[in-house]
């Protein structure tokens, strides 16, 4: 297993396959992907990208911490889920965020992913909301 920072472009295929099937590849290119403070993590098994996560320096207005990162586009191939790979990505990313002086990180979690993020120490913030074409979500956060 190799965990490392990767360019934004390397995330698009997995984002498309796991998070945006049936949508255009353009829907997988997020605003801020190439910002200087943004970083993308990939996990490879035998030279195959199996898990990704992108982290953007972005404020969630309901949190008081000044230096925050937002997780977007976390995806793991279905065949590799349940093996702890995503948790390894998050642990790696949390170290990187701490090195960057982050005080907290947050995400818009699909309701189906809430139990997963709770196991990683995140808590729900506010009420459920709906993202068109994607579904119901909660804001979740973790103080570092």
Instruction: CATH number of the domain at 118, please.
Output: 3.40.630.30
Question: Is the confidence at residue 95, as pLDDT, over 80?
Answer: yes
Better pLDDT: 133 or 1:
1
Average pLDDT (110-129) is: 93
What pLDDT is attached to residue 21? 83
Number of domain units in the chain: 1
Of the pLDDT bands very low, low, confident and very high (cuts 50, 70, 90), residue 133 is confident
Q: What is the token pair recorded at 127?
A: 């009420």
Q: What angle do CA 27, 33, 38 make, to 5 degrees?
A: 150
| Domain span at 100 | 2-143
Quote the pLDDT of residue 6: 97
- Greatest CA separation for the chain: 41
| H/E segment holding residue 119 | helix 114-119
**Residue with the two structure tokens 């898990």:** 51
- Distance (Å, whole) CA 126 – CA 139: 7
Angle at the Cα of 76 (from 28 to 57), degrees rounded to 5? 55
Q: What pLDDT band is residue 132 in, cutting at 50, 70 and 90?
A: confident
98 contact partners, CB below 8 Å, separation of at least 6? 144
69 closest CA partner among 40, 27, 111: 40
């Amino acid at each position: 297993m190799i965990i490392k920072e990767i360019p934004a472009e390397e995330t698009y295929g997995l984002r498309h396959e796991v998070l945006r099937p049936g949508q255009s590849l353009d829907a997988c290119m997020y605003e801020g992907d190439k910002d200087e403070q943004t970083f993308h993590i990939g996990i490879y098994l035998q030279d195959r990208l199996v898990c990704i996560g992108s982290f953007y320096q972005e404020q969630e207005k309901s949190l008081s911490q000044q230096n925050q990162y937002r997780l977007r586009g976390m995806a793991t191939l279905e065949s590799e889920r349940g093996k702890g790979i995503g948790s390894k990505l998050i642990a790696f990313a949390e170290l990187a965020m701490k090195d960057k002086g982050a005080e907290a990180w947050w995400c818009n979690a699909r309701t189906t992913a809430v139990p997963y993020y709770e196991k990683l120490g995140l808590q729900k913030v506010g009420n459920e909301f709906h993202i068109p074409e994607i579904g119901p979500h909660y804001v979740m956060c973790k103080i570092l």
